[in-house]
Amino acid sequence: MMNDFDGEMARRLAALRADGLWRELRRVETPQSPRLRIGGQTLLNFASNDYLGLANDPAVREAAIRAVEQYGAGAGASRLVCGSLAPHHALDEALAAFKGVEAALSFSSGYASALGALGALLGRGDFVILDQRVHASIVDAARLCGAKLRVFNHNDLDSLEARLKWVRAQASARKARALVVTESVFSMDGDHAPLRELAALKERYGAWLMVDEAHAVGLYGARGRGLAAALGVSERIEVQMGTLGKAMGAAGGYLCGSRALVDCLINRARPFLFSTAPVPAAVAAAAAGVRLAQSRTGEERRARLWQNVARLLPAAPARAPTDRSAIIPIRIGDEARALAIADALRAREIFLPAIRYPTVARGAARLRLTVTAAHTPADLDQLQAALDALGLELDPGS
Ligand SMILES: *Cc1c(COP(=O)(O)O)cnc(C)c1O
CB half-sphere exposure, 56, CA atoms < 13 A: 10
How does residue 315 score in pLDDT terms, banded at 50, 70 and 90?
Answer: confident
Specify the pLDDT at position 99. 98
Rounded distance from Cα 174 to ligand 1 centre (Å): 34
Specify the pLDDT at position 398. 55
User: Which amino acid, residue 165?
Assistant: K
By mean pLDDT, which of 196-210, 229-243, 310-324 is the weakest? 310-324
CB neighbours (10 Å) of residue 366? 20
Q: Tell whether 205 and 328 lie within a shared domain.
A: no
108 lines ligand 1 (CB under 6 A): no
Q: Tell whether 76 and 109 lie within a shared domain.
A: yes
370 lines ligand 1 (CB under 6 A): no
Q: Tell whether 225 and 372 lie within a shared domain.
A: no
Q: Give the whole-angstrom CA distance, residue 190 versus residue 183.
A: 10
Specify the pLDDT at position 177. 94
Specify the pLDDT at position 321. 84
Q: Stretch 79-107: mean pLDDT, rounded?
A: 98
Question: Does residue 395 belong to any structural domain of this protein?
Answer: no
Q: Tell whether 224 and 81 lie within a shared domain.
A: yes
Q: Tell whether 265 and 361 lie within a shared domain.
A: no
Of residues 109, 113, 137, 187, which has the active-site annotation?
187
Q: Tell whether 228 and 245 lie within a shared domain.
A: yes
Cβ(201)–Cβ(231) below 8 Å: no
Question: Does residue 346 belong to any structural domain of this protein?
Answer: yes
Question: Does residue 232 belong to any structural domain of this protein?
Answer: yes
Rounded distance from Cα 133 to ligand 1 centre (Å): 13
Average pLDDT over all residues of the chain: 95
Question: Across the strands, what pairs with 182?
Answer: 211
Tens digit of each residue's pLDDT (9 = 90 or more) over 215-231: 999 999 999 999 999 99
Q: Stretch 174-179: mean pLDDT, rounded?
A: 86
Q: Give the whole-angstrom CA distance, residue 49 versus residue 249.
A: 9
Q: Stretch 119-128: mean pLDDT, rounded?
A: 96
Rounded distance from Cα 184 to ligand 1 centre (Å): 12
- Point out the domain boundary residue: 293, 317, 345: 293
187 lines ligand 1 (CB under 6 A): yes
Choice from 49, 108, 131, 135 to test ligand 1 binding pocket (greatest atom count within 8 A of CB): 135
Query: Greater confidence, 173 or 359?
Result: 359
Choice from 181, 187, 217 to test ligand 1 binding pocket (greatest atom count within 8 A of CB): 187
Q: Give the whole-angstrom CA distance, residue 104 versus residue 101.
A: 7
Q: Tell whether 276 and 308 lie within a shared domain.
A: no
Rounded distance from Cα 110 to ligand 1 centre (Å): 5
Question: Does residue 3 belong to any structural domain of this protein?
Answer: no
- Point out the domain boundary residue: 293, 321, 337: 293
Res 122 pLDDT > 90? yes
- Point out the domain boundary residue: 242, 258, 293: 293
Q: Give the whole-angstrom CA distance, residue 234 versus residue 225.
A: 10
Q: Tell whether 174 and 68 lie within a shared domain.
A: yes
Q: Tell whether 320 and 255 lie within a shared domain.
A: no
Question: Does residue 14 belong to any structural domain of this protein?
Answer: no
Q: Stretch 88-97: mean pLDDT, rounded?
A: 98
By mean pLDDT, which of 77-86, 177-186, 357-366 is the weakest? 357-366
Specify the pLDDT at position 20. 87
What is the tally of structural domains in the chain? 2
Among 5, 6, 30, 46, which residue's Cα sits nearest to residue 349?
46
- The CATH number given to whatever domain includes residue 343 is 3.90.1150.10
Cβ(189)–Cβ(367) below 8 Å: no
- The CATH number given to whatever domain includes residue 220 is 3.40.640.10
By mean pLDDT, which of 88-92, 189-193, 313-317, 319-323 is the weakest? 313-317
Question: Does residue 6 belong to any structural domain of this protein?
Answer: no
Res 386 pLDDT > 60? yes
CB half-sphere exposure, 366, CA atoms < 13 A: 22
- Phi, psi dihedral angles at 366 (to 5 degrees): -155, 165
Specify the pLDDT at position 1. 56
Res 196 pLDDT > 60? yes
Positive or negative: CA dihedral 45, 334, 344, 312 = negative
Domain range for residue 204? 58-293
How does residue 396 score in pLDDT terms, banded at 50, 70 and 90?
Answer: low
- Counting from 1 in the atom list of ligand 1, the atom nearest the Cα of 183 is 13
Q: Give the whole-angstrom CA distance, residue 356 versus residue 276.
A: 32
Specify the pLDDT at position 3. 75
Write out the E strands in the chain: 35-38, 41-45, 103-107, 127-131, 148-152, 178-183, 208-212, 239-243, 253-257, 327-333, 350-351, 354-355, 365-370
Is the peptide bond prior to 314 cis by the omega test (within 30 degrees of 0)?
no
246 is catalytic: yes
Cβ(44)–Cβ(35) below 8 Å: yes
Q: Tell whether 243 and 330 lie within a shared domain.
A: no
Specify the pLDDT at position 105. 98
Q: Stretch 124-151: mean pLDDT, rounded?
A: 97
Positive or negative: CA dihedral 33, 35, 37, 38 = positive
Among 52, 18, 9, which residue's Cα sits nearest to residue 33?
52
192 is catalytic: no
Tens digit of each residue's pLDDT (9 = 90 or more) over 287-310: 999 999 999 999 999 999 999 999
Write out the E strands in 118-248: 127-131, 148-152, 178-183, 208-212, 239-243
Q: Give the whole-angstrom CA distance, residue 347 versus residue 369.
A: 17
Specify the pLDDT at position 36. 97
How does residue 100 score in pLDDT terms, banded at 50, 70 and 90?
Answer: very high
Q: Tell whether 248 and 325 lie within a shared domain.
A: no
What is residue 374's three-state secondary structure? coil
Rounded distance from Cα 48 to ligand 1 centre (Å): 13
Q: Tell whether 91 and 196 lie within a shared domain.
A: yes
Question: Does residue 4 belong to any structural domain of this protein?
Answer: no
Specify the pLDDT at position 395. 76
Specify the pLDDT at position 322. 86
CB neighbour list of residue 345: distance below 8 Å, 6 or more residues apart: 351, 352, 367, 386, 390
89 is catalytic: no
Question: Does residue 349 belong to any structural domain of this protein?
Answer: yes
